[in-house]
Amino acid sequence: MSEVRQRPAGKPGARRPPGNYTAAFRADGVIHIPQALSADDLRLVEAAYAWRMANLGPGASAFYADTGATFLQALGDSSEQPVFQRMLRDTPIGDIAADLFGRGPVWYMDEQLFYKDGAAAAGGARRTPWHQDSSYHPYGGTKQAVFWIALDRVTKDGALEVVRGSHLGVRYNGARFDPRDDTAPIYPESALPRLPNIEAERDKWDIVSWAVEPGDLLVFHAAALHGGGSAGQGVRRRSLTLRFAGDDVVRTAQPGQASPGAPLGEGVEAPARPGPRGPAVDRYWALPLGEPVASARPTLVRPWPTK
């Protein structure tokens, strides 16, 4: 796809990549948009990533430390930071989310930074276990979009993988990221079924992935089953995930309760609920059941607020 013209800064809505990606997203729960971001857009994403890397915050953790590889993640809401506001305002990311939601309002929920570096490990940095983001969130709805943006070239074998159409199917228990068992549930007592061993039975699942270049967007629904590819020895993979919600996303019942003190992977204890703490996250858990997430005052990005 040819690169489209850069939108003047501060004027959302003037530029979108061509193609009918909305229908594909609704049916498949995942889309790949090559070169949706211009060089200027990508610089804004890089700046946001760099700020977040320098300010990891309480939502940061390292996985599988005993492998010798680096596998770092940090989750939080940095939308009040100027560097994130420029990215959300001046790139077409919010416009694409609005298209996927039917041109309704778009709220920014949070971001998640990932950094994998397999330089120090003979086998590289291992893959991210299969899971659904919706298993960890206290809200649900059809208008949810997760933008996975790779800042380094990623081969098809190392890219994010998604089970096509799984956003319309079963909601599973969340993965504990236990190095001994990728299907170990985060909620020991829950009506949610345990995650299937997708990696051991890949031929039974409709798994899709794409090689990605900086500037590409991979967008999936929060309820879609997905997992990240490995980063081989000497391979670095930086990616930034941005989560958005529309006007049908509401507070839902907690799917289960992790037992305090239960082991969680590398000697970490399972929290009373999954995910980080802090005002930006707690506000969604504090909502009454059925209440729109907009009541928790997340950052509105489309239409962009004018003062």
Residue 258, pLDDT > 50, answer no
- Give a yes or no: residue 168 inside a domain: yes
Cβ neighbours for 193, distance < 8 A, ≥ 6 positions apart: 170, 172, 173
With pLDDT > 70 as the criterion, what percentage of the chain qualifies?
Answer: 76
Q: Is the pLDDT of residue 306 over 50?
A: yes
The DSSP 8-state label assigned to residue 295 in this structure reads G
Q: What is the pLDDT of residue 69?
A: 63
Mean pLDDT of the chain: 83
Read off the pLDDT band of 255 (50, 70, 90): low
Confidence tier at 266 by pLDDT (50, 70, 90): very low
Q: Does a structural domain hold residue 15? A: no
Determine the Cα–Cα distance for residues 300 and 108; give it in Å rounded to an integer: 6
**φ/ψ of residue 144, rounded to 5:** -130, 135
Number of domains in the chain: 1
Q: Containing domain of residue 287, as a range?
A: 21-302
Contacts of 278 (CB under 8 A, 6+ apart): 57, 58, 59, 76
Q: What is the DSSP letter of 185?
A: B
pLDDT at 265: 39
Distance CA 133, CA 221 (A): 9
Residue range 9-19, pLDDT digits in tens = 445 544 666 66
What pLDDT does 253 receive? 80
Domain presence at residue 280: yes
Is the residue at 207 inside a domain?
yes
Tens-digit pLDDT profile for residues 128-146: 889 999 988 889 999 999 9
pLDDT (tens digit per residue) in 36-77:
999 999 999 999 999 999 998 877 666 666 666 676 878 889
Asked whether residue 8 is domain-assigned, the answer is no
CATH number of 34's domain: 2.60.120.620
The structure's pTM equals 0.86
In terms of C-beta density within 10 A (0-12 exposed, 13-18 middle, 19 or more buried), how is residue 43 classed?
A: middle
The larger pLDDT score, comparing residue 82 to residue 180, is at 82
User: What's the pLDDT at 12?
Assistant: 52
**Residue 231 pLDDT > 70, yes or no?**
no
Q: Among all chains, which residue has been given the structure tokens 């959302």?
A: 12
Judge whether 7 lies within some domain.
no
Query: Which residues in the chain belong to E strands, given as ranges?
Result: 30-33, 60-62, 70-76, 106-117, 139-140, 144-150, 160-163, 189-190, 207-208, 217-220, 226-228, 236-245, 250-251, 256-257, 263-264, 268-269, 299-302
Distance CA 195, CA 261 (A): 22
| Dihedral sign computed on CA atoms, order 6, 9, 14, 19 | positive
Considering the domain boundaries, does residue 13 fall inside one? no
Residue 242 · residue 108 · CB < 8 Å: yes
**Does the pLDDT of residue 276 top 60, yes or no?**
no
DSSP letters along 37-99, please? Answer: S-HHHHHHHHHHHHHHHH---TTEEE--GGGSSEEEEEEE--TTSHHHHHHHHHSTHHHHHHH
Is residue 2 included in any domain, yes or no? no
Give residue 232's pLDDT band: very low, low, confident or very high (50, 70, 90). Answer: low
